[in-house]
Amino acid sequence: MTEAERRWESWYQAFLKVFEAFPHPVEVPCPEGDGGHVRLTFYGYAGSRTGSVTAWCDRCHHGIWLGRVGLPAGAEVHPFDGKPEGQPEIELIPDAWYTPDSDGQGR
């Protein structure tokens, strides 16, 4: 696994922890190790059950974007064409999809 793949995977795992706990708030540390915590911002269309999400750090403002997720009941969902008021600009880390080789070891 490359460093870029490890970084993306660490962000994805942090996203899962926050997402799976929803609607209960959890303090998941930023994968960048900066002392911040992972936050989620959901985007979608009114009445839709699927949308997208940005998982981002409240300190370094890095994060990942997932283009198709189920929108949890009770989540605040923002329109695709706007940024929520008060949210900083998020610097998305590049997508890095890990694809293991045929030996199953990722080499």
Q: Residue 103 domain-assigned?
A: no
Q: Residue 44 domain-assigned?
A: yes
pLDDT, tens digit, 9 for 90 and up, residues 84-103: 988 899 999 987 765 555 34
Q: Residue 102 domain-assigned?
A: no
Percent of the chain with pLDDT over 70: 89
The tally of domains found in the chain comes to: 1
Q: Residue 62 domain-assigned?
A: yes
Q: Residue 100 domain-assigned?
A: no
Q: Residue 105 domain-assigned?
A: no
Strand pairing class (91-92; 50-57): unpaired
Would you say how long the chain is, in residues?
107
> Structure pTM?
0.85
Q: Residue 54 domain-assigned?
A: yes
CA 91/CA 95 separation, integer angstroms: 12
Neighbours of 2 (CB within 10 A): 10
> Which range marks the domain in which residue 34 is found?
3-92
Q: Residue 53 domain-assigned?
A: yes
